Amino acid sequence: MKQGNGTVPRIGVYVCHCGTNIAGNVDVKAVVDFASKLPGVVVAREYKYMCSDPGQSLIKNDIREKNLNRVIVASCSPHLHEHTFRHATLEGGQNPYLFHMVNIREQVSWVTEDKMSATEKAKALVEAAVYRVRYHEALETKEVPVNPDVLIIGGGIAGITAALTLANAGKKVYLVERDYSIGGHMAKFDKTFPTLDCASCILTPKMTAVKDHPNIHLFTYSEILEIDGYVGNFTARILKKPRYVIEDRCIGCYVCVEHCVYKTPKFPSEFDEGLGLRKPVFIPFPQAVPLIAAIDPETCIEFKSHRCKKTCQEACRDLVGRDAIDFTQREEVVEVQVGAIIVATGFKTFDARRIPEYGYGRYPNVYTSLEIERLVNSSGPTGGEIVMRDGRKPRRVGIIHCVGSRDRNFNPWCSRVCCMYSLKLAHLVRERTGAEVYNFYIDIRTPGKGYEEFYEKLMQEGVHFIRGKVAEVTDWTITPEETGKLVIRVEDSLVGVVRRIPVDMVILSVGLEPRDDAEEVRRQLNISCSSEGWFLERHPKLAPVSTFTDGIFIAGACQGPKDIPDTVAQAGAAAAEALALIDRGSVELEPNIAVIDEQKCSGCHVCIALCPYSAIAFNEEKNVAVINEALCKGCGVCVGTCPSKAITQQLFTDEELLAEIEGVLLV
Amino acid sequence: MAYVYYPGCSLKGTGVSYEKSLLATFKRLNIPLQELDDWNCCGATSYMSISEEQALLLSARNLALASENDGDIIAPCSACYMILNRTANILRDDRTLRQKIVEKLKNVGLEHLNLSVRVRHPLDVLVNDVGLDTIRSAVVNKLTGLRVFPYYGCLIVRPGNGFDHPTYPTSLDRLLEALGCEVIDHPLKTRCCGGSLTGTLEEVGVRLVYILLKEAKKRGAHTLATLCALCQFNLDVYQEKAARKYNEAFDFPILFFTQLVAFALGANPRDIGLEHHFVPAEQVFEMVR
Amino acid sequence: MEAIQRTVKYEADLSPQFSEEIRHLPGGETLWHCIQCGLCSASCPLSIYMDYTPRRIMAMTREGFKEEVLQSKTIWLCASCYACTVFCPQQVEITHIMYHLKQMAIREKRYPRNFPIPVLAREFSTWVRNHGRVSEFWVVFRTWRKIAIGRLLRMIPQGLKLMRLRRLPISVHSIRQRRQLKKLLAQMNGGA
């Protein structure tokens, strides 16, 4: 038997039951018996929960008493407990990198149906580890300082909350928002459920606080171009798009808007979901932060023909004396250094046109819920009056739940907020118009504080609740009462009959989806997405705001549909995690980096060009390549391509990998 | 482009004008259409209620016969199209069932089964193979001013067929527009006409017929264009009963879409089967002239 | 006053084997995705005539209400238009499950006797087995001869008009390879 790195290996193997998670499908005792007979194994044990204190003590005691110099734990994924057992190894008196972890839960017991084959697979993986650890060496970790500044991507309620929390703790924050103003979706809402407090009354103070905070540097109408670096030391390149208004000269006085050559607003306002109109020069909404005008080059005459009288510019210069309008403004790239990043990019709503049976886009009186939010908002296009596109007040309103949600043809998930916002809209519509309101639902889900009580209140208000998914909204009418109305066809599944309900207005409660560019953002940041496209947390229960990339945290609906209270809680948690990282001051880097043997390096430069992290430089004096340990991510590209075989990767040396393969094949 | 023509039982009986106008259309477009030799019943709806396996075998025999020729199969009747398509999909995707069926075909001397043969509806072929631009430029008699209620019926866009949206299709609308028709948008495009019921539960079938006719009339249509032999039969032949039962005059010609296409492409109106209609259909074409 | 009926359902009256059988037929397993939203019933053009809406048939099938399901008119009113299947948010293969139920009802002779649809299905398949193609005239004729001669008589005027329009041939067209077809079909079990 090979002796590996010279010392005679004395191996301890510990197989975890994980309750019944592993033991239910793997014969743990058989694995232990098998392991105890493998070469170099001094002791093999099983235990119900290896990660518990007594479990870890087994390892520590054996290292001391049996002079172990290699430790193997066969349990769950290294993502969960590698750190735990490395630490136990260290406490027992050995270098933590003489430990190796085998995953027999996620990769064996949870995914193998037959107990026999599961046990065999577990044995093979344990044997692979036994062969591998011989070649393990004691490794040293490296500490690098952490930059104390934080980048937050997305200026909705999640980004705002995280930014204020960090800034109040004295940290410098760069908050980057794609739109002209921060506030996100919440800024569009009139009331919030279940308390019905005014959304802008609670949001505006926060937005103003962001603007006024000395520790927050706000970038609006800006996007992230590129993120580089690693935990504690990221570099972000931010693209500031031109709004054709010089930010620090504009005072948000609206004079330019009033003097635009368009006397009346003519173009659909994005903020009002197209229900209201704006001019080419505009301020998105009265509470916008920053309260700065912007010019839309798509609709502005000056950009289309260069023949506008530019009355806006003239007015700003001559009447206000600010001269803030600059048609020649260009985009600008700003680079910032940060130690941590919080991603709070939010969601988009389901495109109701994808379900043609509901008639959105064909029948003018079919609205999305987001449009209704603007319609009920006192700063919205109708000043809060609920009138339809033809100016009439609706007397009968149908609210269709789960549009695009809980539907395998579109999005299989429950969007979590639609039940409650539908109830809220039902209340507001009934209160302001006196209309008969019908809710069409599959299941009412109100699992929040005060939510069920709100549902009960709505029932008492006389709002109709009909359990059934609507098949169609149609202008095919049969009875005289239906004439001129839209008819909702549904099975009242509690009664067991099909009903046709004529209404004036239909509200589609559209679900929540990942943003279109979620995949792009994921790649920029090197984080993971679930198959649906939501950003993936490190652990669904115990690390809900961390990602698999150290130093990058997630908050709000970019991680999955959630309402405002949950979003704010998560944003606070993300800020706390970022704070914990920054205040530690330094981070330990994994030693799984590439190492160059200067004797063997021929100075061919191949690795330098290939390194995706620009971590390799060239030493002209010695004529060899040199790896920057802080930048190396241990991806292995250089190791695989070096023609002189001069590069090895710690924890993944050729010997270790070959021994592991040999071991797995031996069973 | 060459196609194998699978008429199905209806096009030799109640849907004879569908066959005539389809052949006329393809003749005007110079696309050869070779009738499948010794074809048998597709095994559609009624047979499926008895035995799914036998229904699949019936379809599979047709697919095996078609494997002797080159080109996709054209199946104009919606029920035939649906079941032949479903069988072709099963034979392609389900290995176990394929082996079972292939073995049984071999036992009766049907050795050859070409899995790449596709089953197509003539609407799909006209819109996606021939193309609307070709058709637009081949139009001789533009159908300007003719208000048409496009009716797809239920089966043609259902699962597995995949050439148009399953509940709100638009292919026929676009084809009719290319002929110069004024196409009426409406929500009943794929609502069942009741055709499989009028022969058995007449009251129910007639109600479904009435719904479609009433809506077409309400929206000011001159005619209703169908894609399926059964739909046309049902809406044409039971129109009288619907009118009597609901006390409403219709006199509403029900055309096969191929009659409109063939006419627009310059076919002789005598060759497109107008003489077989219950409700006289000549009036539609007189109006255009 | 009409008699009051007791409607409690005892477990002993249910048939778990029935639902298991459906589960193992092609597409049957999708029934266990059903969330009882009722979109099938709402999109169905015929549910308004059914004794149980399609949603209820799905629930009853899953829970083993064999008698009620196989004797229902619902499964025979299903026109197989596939509206429910393409609408279903859980992608339950409702139309195919309906076909399975019809096949089972015929096999076990539980279908409603004087209900014309299953009778037509049987006449249709018999004719196809013998001739290879269907004659619309003869299949309809034989169906109604079995159920209600009176109805047949009332159909005469319409039939005559169709014949005059040359849309209802009485002559029987058979395929050439009738024996091949019979042999082919005989290899698979199938109904009556």
Average pLDDT over residues B80-97: 92
Q: Is the pLDDT of residue C191 over 80?
A: no
Q: Quick check: A474 contacting B, CB < 8 Å?
A: yes
Those residues whose C-beta lies under 8 Å from the C-beta of residue A372, and which sit 6 or more positions away, are: A386, A425, A429, A507
Structure confidence by residue, pLDDT tens digits, A569-590: 999 999 999 999 999 999 988 8
By residue count, chain B amounts to: 289
By residue count, chain C amounts to: 192
CA dist A531 to A260, A363, A518, C157, Å?
A: 47, 34, 12, 62
- Residue C166: closest CA among chain B residues belongs to which residue? B276
The three-state secondary structure class of A335 is strand
Question: What is B131-288's CATH topology?
Answer: Rossmann fold (3.40.50)
Quote ipTM for the complex. 0.92
- Which of 5-44 (C) contact B at CB < 8 A? 26
- Counting residues of chain C whose pLDDT is more than 70, the rounded percentage is 97
Closest Cα of chain A to C73: distance in Å? 16
Closest Cα of chain A to B186: distance in Å? 8
User: Domains of chain A (ranges plus CATH)?
Assistant: 11-141+657-666 (3.40.50), 255-320 (no CATH), 348-513 (3.50.50.60), 594-649 (3.30.70.20)
Residues of C in contact with B201 (CB under 8 A): 49, 77, 116-117
Confidence of residue A6 (pLDDT cuts 50, 70, 90): low
Residues of C in contact with B154 (CB under 8 A): 79, 81-83
Confidence of residue B129 (pLDDT cuts 50, 70, 90): very high
Report the residue from A357, A408, A491 with minimal CB separation from C90. A408
Structure confidence by residue, pLDDT tens digits, A244-289: 999 999 999 999 999 999 999 999 999 999 999 999 999 999 999 9
Structure confidence by residue, pLDDT tens digits, A365-381: 999 999 999 999 988 99
Q: Answer whether A491 sits within 8 Å of C87, measured CB to CB.
A: no
Write down the mean pLDDT value for chain C: 91
Closest listed residue to residue A99, CA positions, set A125, A126, A73: A73
- Counting residues of chain B whose pLDDT is more than 90, the rounded percentage is 81
Residue A5 confidence (pLDDT): 54
Q: Quick check: B128 contacting A, CB < 8 Å?
A: no
Write down the mean pLDDT value for chain A: 95
Q: Answer whether C43 sits within 8 Å of A409, measured CB to CB.
A: no
Q: Answer whether C36 sits within 8 Å of A493, measured CB to CB.
A: yes
Confidence of residue C58 (pLDDT cuts 50, 70, 90): very high
User: Which residue spans within A31-110 are E strands per DSSP?
Assistant: 41-47, 70-75, 99-103
Confidence of residue B157 (pLDDT cuts 50, 70, 90): confident
Find which of C168, C185, C189 to mutate to test the B interface (most B CBs within 10 Å of its CB): C185
Q: What are the tokens at A211?
A: 């603007």
Cα–Cα distance, A349 to A369 (Å, whole number): 9
Q: Where are the domains of chain C?
A: 11-107, 116-186
Structure confidence by residue, pLDDT tens digits, A416-431: 999 999 999 999 999 9
Per-residue DSSP letter, A108: I
Q: Answer whether A362 sits within 8 Å of B185, measured CB to CB.
A: yes
Question: What's the CATH superfamily of C11-107?
Answer: Alpha-helical ferredoxin (1.10.1060.10)
User: Which residue spans within A485-609 are E strands per DSSP?
Assistant: 486-492, 497-503, 505-510, 512-514, 552-554, 586-589, 594-596
* Higher-confidence position of B19 and A630: B19
Report the residue from A357, A407, A467 with minimal CB separation from C89. A407
Structure confidence by residue, pLDDT tens digits, A103-113: 999 999 999 99
Residue A590 confidence (pLDDT): 84
Q: Answer whether B155 sits within 8 Å of C81, measured CB to CB.
A: yes
Q: Is the dihedral angle over the CA atoms A519, A521, A526, A530 positive or is it negative?
A: negative
Residues in chain A whose beta carbon is closer than 8 A to a beta carbon of chain C?
Answer: 357, 402, 406-409, 442-443, 467-472, 489-493, 496-498
Same CATH topology for B3-120 and B131-288? no
Q: Quick check: A500 contacting B, CB < 8 Å?
A: no
- CB distance A302 to A252 below 8 Å: no
Count of pairs with CB atoms under 8 A, one residue in A, one in B: 17
By residue count, chain A amounts to: 667
Beta bridge partners of A198: A191
Residue A142 confidence (pLDDT): 85
Please state which architecture CATH assigns to domain B3-120.
Up-down Bundle (1.20)
Residue C189 confidence (pLDDT): 67
- Counting residues of chain B whose pLDDT is more than 70, the rounded percentage is 99
Q: Quick check: A359 contacting B, CB < 8 Å?
A: yes
Q: Is the pLDDT of residue B61 over 80?
A: yes
Q: Where are the domains of chain B?
A: 3-120, 131-288
- Residue C175: closest CA among chain B residues belongs to which residue? B38
Residue C111 confidence (pLDDT): 81
Contact partners for chain B, using 3 or more CB pairs closer than 8 A, are A, C
Structure confidence by residue, pLDDT tens digits, C119-175: 888 889 999 999 999 998 898 888 888 888 888 888 899 899 999 999 999 988 899
Q: Is the pLDDT of residue B137 over 70?
A: yes
Closest listed residue to residue A562, CA positions, set A301, A185, A298: A185
Q: What are the tokens at B134?
A: 């070709």
3-state secondary structure A584-622: HCEEEECCCCEEECCCCCCCCCHHHHHCCCCCEEEECCC
Structure confidence by residue, pLDDT tens digits, B31-53: 999 999 999 999 887 777 888 88
Write down the mean pLDDT value for chain B: 93
Q: Quick check: C48 contacting B, CB < 8 Å?
A: no
Residue C45 confidence (pLDDT): 95
Q: Quick check: B185 contacting A, CB < 8 Å?
A: yes
- Residue B167: closest CA among chain A residues belongs to which residue? A357
Average pLDDT over residues B52-69: 92
Per-residue DSSP letter, B184: P
The three-state secondary structure class of A145 is strand
Residue A371 confidence (pLDDT): 97
Contact partners for chain C, using 3 or more CB pairs closer than 8 A, are A, B
Residue C151 confidence (pLDDT): 84
- Residue C97: closest CA among chain B residues belongs to which residue? B49
Closest listed residue to residue C95, CA positions, set B233, B197, B83: B83
Q: Answer whether C87 sits within 8 Å of A471, measured CB to CB.
A: yes
Residues of A in contact with B216 (CB under 8 A): none
Q: Where are the alpha helices (DSSP H) in chain C?
A: 16-23, 39-43, 54-63, 66-70, 74-77, 83-87, 94-107, 116-131, 136-147, 149-154, 156-164, 178-186
Average pLDDT over residues A350-364: 97
Q: Answer whether B158 sits within 8 Å of C132, measured CB to CB.
A: no
Closest Cα of chain A to B261: distance in Å? 27
Residue C1 confidence (pLDDT): 60
Report the residue from C37, C40, C56 with minimal CB separation from A496. C56
Q: Quick check: B173 contacting A, CB < 8 Å?
A: no
- Which of 199-218 (B) contact A at CB < 8 A? 211, 215
Residue A3 confidence (pLDDT): 46
Backbone angles phi, psi at A532, to 5 degrees: -80, -20
Q: Is the pLDDT of residue A1 over 70?
A: no
Average pLDDT over residues C58-66: 97
User: Which residue spans within A408-474 are E strands per DSSP?
Assistant: 436-441, 464-467, 472-474
* Higher-confidence position of A562 and C142: A562
Min mean pLDDT across A212-216, A595-599, B42-46, B188-192 is at: B42-46
Residue B43 confidence (pLDDT): 87
Please identify which residue in the block is written with the tokens 């029935």: C18
Name the pairing type of β-strands A586-589 and A142-145: antiparallel
Q: Is the pLDDT of residue B66 over 90?
A: yes
The three-state secondary structure class of A245 is strand
Cα–Cα distance, A471 to A511 (Å, whole number): 17
Q: Answer whether A476 sits within 8 Å of B186, measured CB to CB.
A: yes
